[in-house]
Amino acid sequence: MLRRAFSTDIRSTLKAAIPKRVEQLQALRKSEASLGELTVGATIGGMRGYKALFWQSSQVDADLGVTFHGKTISDCQGFLPKCKDELNDPNSEFLPESMFWFLLTGSEPTQQQIDTFSAEIASKSTLPDYLIKVLDSLPTTLHPMTQLSIAISALNNDSQFARAYEKGIPKSDYWEYTLEDSINLIAKLPGVIGKIYSNTYFGGKTLGELDTKSKDWSHNMATVLGYTQDSANVKNLTAAQSQDFINLIRLYCALHADHEGGNVSAHATHLVGSALSDAYLSYSSGVQGLAGPLHGLAAQEVVRFIVEMKKNVTDINDKKQIEDYLWSLLNSKRVIPGYGHGVLRKPDPRFKAMMQFGFNRPEEFQNDDYFQLVNNLSNIAPGVLKEHGKTKNPFPNVDSSSGVLFYHYGLTELLFFTVIFGGSRSMGPLAQLVWDRIYGLPIERPKSVTLEMLQGLK
């Protein structure tokens, strides 16, 4: 049964949850129960699928997809609070701030609590002058993800944890300083992301101003990117389209906030954090992992694939043409981007949620050939992949849908998709980092083996 939070703020709500959780973990510390045998093949094969990490807030089930404290995406869409000004709008999405609260505390926040927390996030969103100078000093040709990592690392200058640790604080207080750093980092990300977008693609022109009082995290991100009516509106969106884009940011960032602990960005954050690095340094490492082509760049690859495919089929509704195109890829030893998943064995519920965003707006998407092609592919590609016989999961993952939605609203700078991903993914790993401090988890230090040692195990 889901617990509703009655404490006044996120700090007291979290504090109330600590004693029971710590007691539960302490009872397990000396457990000798087995999680399975580790083989040589697994050791040199990336440990895929092996249960070797402790992660509290989310889990990926082969059938259900990602769940957050046991709740599905559909559940979260039903109970997590939305923007206070849009409670009666059926197309308004729940706030990423709500997801962070839930990931961190395990409790359902009230609308008033999220209104207050969202306002706190906004109040901390202004970028320090030194960070603006750092970003302005970077070459515009530098990859946006590299710029994001640099910016997050530079914010270490303001780390309350690092400063307190240097002075000397008891271990029992580590989590409180880590929480403050985490909230501050999350609050700064819209401004950082907007600044990188402006510098990289618009010559440093201010595209929008952060509202430090009344706007939610996603609204501020959309504004500093220049996609709202109270911004430069760089893509000439209508008022309805601007509101859609804000809700797209909300949905995308909430869905991408966490995906258990074994993916590169989450694991890197946890690994670096286990050395007692502060939240900024820890998550900066996670962002660097996210920048890798095998992790966070999939959405842009899907868009390139869809754009190229449309050039090569004369009718996006012709099943035979689509099948022939897919087989031409597979027969040339290429893959179909956006299909398959390391854990899932059914369609990714995040894909369904992102597609539903488009279906809920037929006036926007019924004539969008890219969106319609993605939808058609989701019905055709699984059959082709099953017949091909080399894919364990022939169904679409979230990357199949997210990119074309951003593309529809004018975000055609494909390299930038992962930067928004980097903003969203901060929430899960940082929530876990706070709990790492609460539990007093040790530094991660597995034993390595040489080739000769492995050969000797035959």
Just list the catalytic residues: 295, 341, 399
Q: Which of 227, 198, 273 is nearest to 432 (CA)?
A: 273
Planar angle of CA 446, 25, 272, nearest 5 degrees: 40
Q: What does the H/E/C string look like for the chain?
A: CCEECCCCCHHHHHHHHHHHHHHHHHHHCCCCCCCCCCCHHHHHCCCCCCCCCCCCCEEEECCCEEEECCECHHHHHHHCCECHHHCCCCCCCECHHHHHHHHHHCEECCHHHHHHHHHHHHHCCCCCHHHHHHHHHCCCCCCHHHHHHHHHHHHHHHCHHHHHHHHCCCHHHHHHHHHHHHHHHHHHHHHHHHHHHHHHHCCCCCCCCCCCCCCCHHHHHHHHCCCCCCCCCCCCCCHHHHHHHHHHHHHHHHHCCCCCCCCHHHHHHHHHHCCCCCHHHHHHHHHHHHCCCCCCCHHHHHHHHHHHHHHHCCCCCCHHHHHHHHHHHHHCCCCCCCECCCCCCCCCHHHHHHHHHHHCCHHHHCCCHHHHHHHHHHHHHHHHHHHHCCCCCCCECCHHHHHHHHHHCCCCCHHHHHHHHHHHHCHHHHHHHHHHHHHCCCCCCCCCCCHHHHHCCC
Q: Which of 362, 438, 430, 406 is nearest to 221 (CA)?
A: 406
In angstroms, what CA-CA distances link 6 with 22, 115, 213, 389? 20, 14, 24, 52
In angstroms, what CA-CA distances link 337 with 208, 238, 296, 399? 34, 31, 13, 8
Instruction: Provide the token pair at 205.
Output: 């022109």
Give the whole-angstrom CA distance, residue 134 versus residue 71.
Answer: 40
- The C-alpha torsion from 428 through 430 and 431 to 435, rounded to 10°, is 130
The structure tokens 């580590």 sit at 174
